[in-house]
A and B are shown apart, each in its own frame.
Chain A
């Protein structure tokens, strides 16, 4: 017999977890204030002692901040003092963790914007040498080549990735553990090894470097990402949906194909896009499979083909001022492509969660 009384009118409100570590207004303010004071102090020290550059400033800042915290917490008990000191250390280290890639974002935008003129997006390098002024020539051939290769790779990978997702979540056969394990460890196959593999097989048998070879190499790298993301989104499908479908008399194949897959359609789109974002910047496999080209190639099996990563890589090896600038612009376009893909993925991902 149930002795628990439950009143249908007043549904119990689940207690919301609080975050005790959440900074209050006051601590935020004092934090910002002390950072500002320390920044000014360390700037003064840098000016006086002549330490060089942003790293010198950072180091001074850290030392002064540690000192300030040490003095500030003098009256507290040892535990609270240790807590404050470790807090400073963690914040400092996380600045180090975030600094490189933030610096990359900023520098790619700043240095790449100079060369991002209309001609960069609509011309190719057939009649232009890398050393020419930035208002001549462009990377249209490379952008087209890159997009073509990743699309072919996606067309190959997506069905396979979805199948392995269905296997891992719907069929759950004897090999589930093995398949998951292999997909996990395959995601770490070095990109150059994928390139070598396609070189020793496809390129050797067809006897030519081609966009198709590049696509296959990218597909090898893309498969684990797509398979894993597909599994993740299909895991989110509530079991009730399956039960309901079975209860209506649907067989397993109908349940999988007509209930589960349509439900996760947007999630699968996300899987494909994340896979593309993962491989669009891969350089090493393309160096062994599709090489590079200075003009338009639209035929995936018609010989070497240009692509954004190899375009940037080639320019970097020339190393003159204009070619480096072109390389930055190429990187900017590459980053923008990745960013756009991520935004699309996030859009679809958000849809899936709703």
Chain B
């Protein structure tokens, strides 16, 4: 005797037909305008930053992006103002890419561990702690990086330099380590790892159970089922999480400010102790900036805004796609 319940008697829900009266229409209008605030706000941020810095873009054009100097003029015109963000822009990307390259594999493994390897009780504890970790202020990561991590980073840098010195990106000119893009990238990696881990874990936990069970039933090992089912299923979600992490790393201010010597020179050697990013440049120069320099800082902020906006829109699209499919 089968025990499958019958659902044939369940009537189908009919289409709801709502006619809005005046009160409803007013309510809908209020709510809509409230919901549009975020849209307007985003527009306002872009507009104001652009309007305030238009003079810079007008004066300097593309040189603002490509140039490599940040010199405040003497005011009487003997030394002209020369503001451009080239090294900071490349520095931003360099540090974030280092962070992402380190964080990605670690975070994916962490998510797999929590979801498929840890015992049930440990899994609950770890995912709770993970949420908390994702909320640690970046300032505390910076403090931890400066006081505790730098010695490790220095040791690893010396090791990398002596063993892998033949790689062009790694060789240093002066044998001074610490406060390098590599160390800052490591700290940023530990800052974005909880975010990527928790997004990935979320996606992995949505893998259809029957698929995993089928794998096991066909004689697959744990790694076999992860490789053939879990990872392909979660790929776009993980990529979305990584983009979110990247966006966070691109805009990070205080951790980079505390961990890097901000030097205005193009530097792609990751162990050299100079670098910087746009956000830390703004924090550094804001205090004693002249009016024209402030405009340049706002312009730098505008460039950063556009950069992160593009990254986040791509991330939002990917995440949206991957969650809708379920």
Residues of A in contact with B (beta carbons under 8 Å apart) = 2, 4-7, 10, 12, 17, 19-23, 28, 52-53, 55, 79-80, 82-83, 86-87, 89-94, 96-98, 100-105, 107-108, 111, 159-160, 162-164, 166-168, 170-171, 173, 175, 178-194, 196-197, 200-201, 220, 223-224, 227, 243, 246, 251-253, 256-257, 277-278, 280-284, 287-288, 309, 312-313, 316, 324, 327-328, 331, 334-335, 338-339, 342, 346
The answer to whether residues A90 and B139 also contact, given A184-B316, A193-B304, A246-B16 and a CB cut-off of 8 A, is: no
- Kindly state the separation between the CA atoms of A191 and B8 in the bound complex, as whole angstroms: 55
| Partner pick for B254 among A20, A187, A313, A324, CB 8 A cutoff | A313
CB pair A179 B36 closer than 8 Å: yes
CB pair A97 B253 closer than 8 Å: no
CB pair A89 B109 closer than 8 Å: yes
Cβ of B320 to closest chain A Cβ, rounded Å: 7
Which secondary structure characterizes the binding site on chain A?
helix
CB pair B34 A163 closer than 8 Å: yes
Given contacts A192-B279, A197-B49, A251-B23, 12 further A-B contacts (CB under 8 A): A28-B119, A79-B221, A93-B113, A94-B106, A100-B193, A101-B194, A107-B147, A179-B35, A185-B312, A186-B38, A193-B301, A220-B41
- Kindly state the separation between the CA atoms of A23 and B28 in the bound complex, as whole angstroms: 53
Residue of B whose beta carbon sits closest to that of A85: B223
CB pair B137 A282 closer than 8 Å: yes
30 sampled A-B residue pairs with Cβ under 8 A: A2-B9, A6-B4, A12-B4, A22-B120, A83-B221, A83-B222, A93-B110, A96-B106, A97-B193, A104-B140, A170-B31, A171-B28, A171-B31, A175-B32, A184-B316, A185-B309, A188-B251, A189-B251, A190-B251, A190-B308, A192-B304, A193-B308, A196-B298, A200-B52, A200-B298, A227-B38, A252-B27, A253-B27, A316-B142, A331-B139
The answer to whether residues A83 and B39 also contact, given A171-B28, A281-B140 and a CB cut-off of 8 A, is: no
CB pair A20 B34 closer than 8 Å: no
Residues of B in contact with A (beta carbons under 8 Å apart) = 1-6, 8-9, 13, 16, 18, 20-21, 23-24, 26-28, 30-32, 34-39, 41-42, 44-45, 48-49, 52, 105-107, 109-110, 112-114, 116-117, 119-120, 126, 128-129, 131-133, 135-144, 146-149, 152, 155-156, 190, 193-194, 197, 209, 212-213, 216, 221-224, 244, 247-248, 250-254, 258, 279, 282-283, 286, 297-298, 301, 304-305, 308-309, 311-313, 315-317, 319-320
CB pair A196 B301 closer than 8 Å: yes
| Complex interface: chain A residues within 8 A of B248 (CB) | 188
The answer to whether residues A252 and B305 also contact, given A100-B193, A164-B37, A197-B48 and a CB cut-off of 8 A, is: no
CB pair A312 B316 closer than 8 Å: no
- Kindly state the separation between the CA atoms of A101 and B144 in the bound complex, as whole angstroms: 10
Residue of A whose beta carbon sits closest to that of B9: A2
The answer to whether residues A175 and B140 also contact, given A100-B193, A196-B301 and a CB cut-off of 8 A, is: no
| Partner pick for B31 among A86, A167, A192, A309, CB 8 A cutoff | A167
The answer to whether residues A283 and B137 also contact, given A55-B156, A197-B45 and a CB cut-off of 8 A, is: yes
- Kindly state the separation between the CA atoms of A257 and B305 in the bound complex, as whole angstroms: 36
